[in-house]
Amino acid sequence: MANYSSLFAPAPTSPIKSIQTGYINVLMAAMSSGSGEDTRYVDVTIAAVTISKSKVTFVGSAGNNGGEGKISNASSGVTMWVTARLINSTTLRLSVATTNLSGILGRWTVEEYV
């Protein structure tokens, strides 16, 4: 009987090692205070990843105006963005550089590659 396995290419392997995702809806009063980019922030604990092999995405909004991960401060005309980044192998930080917001809500994803 012929060995048909030699006729077919091996199945491709995925370059993705892991995907973690979650939804956040946190009010400003529950957020931590810092400075600069981290004027208001919330840290999310995730399973350990290798930072240099990972990518973070966030789709959501902050404040009352929302949309595409940003808020508009109507009084100053300034647009503030929600930033999402890994601050260590087990912590995802979502932050804004303003205190003029009601909170952050949206979906985050951390993809780790092989």
Q: Mind listing the pLDDT tens digit for each residue in 23-57? A: 999 988 899 999 998 999 999 999 999 999 999 99
pLDDT of 68: 45
64 vs 41, which has greater pLDDT?
A: 41
Q: Bridge-partner residues for 16, per DSSP?
A: 113
What's the DSSP call for residue 10? P
Percentage of the chain exceeding pLDDT 70: 81
Q: By the 8 A CB rule, do 97 and 70 touch? A: no
Q: How far apart are CA 39 and CA 41, in angstroms?
A: 7
Q: 25, exposed or middle or buried, with CB in 10 Å at 0-12, 13-18, 19+?
A: exposed
Mean pLDDT of all residues in 61-71: 56
**pLDDT tens, residue by residue, 9-25:** 777 888 999 999 999 99
Please check the confidence at residue 80 and state whether its pLDDT lies above 50.
yes
Whole-angstrom distance between the N-terminal and C-terminal Cα of the chain?
A: 38
The reported pTM is 0.78
- 78: which residues sit within 8 A by CB, 6+ positions away? 72
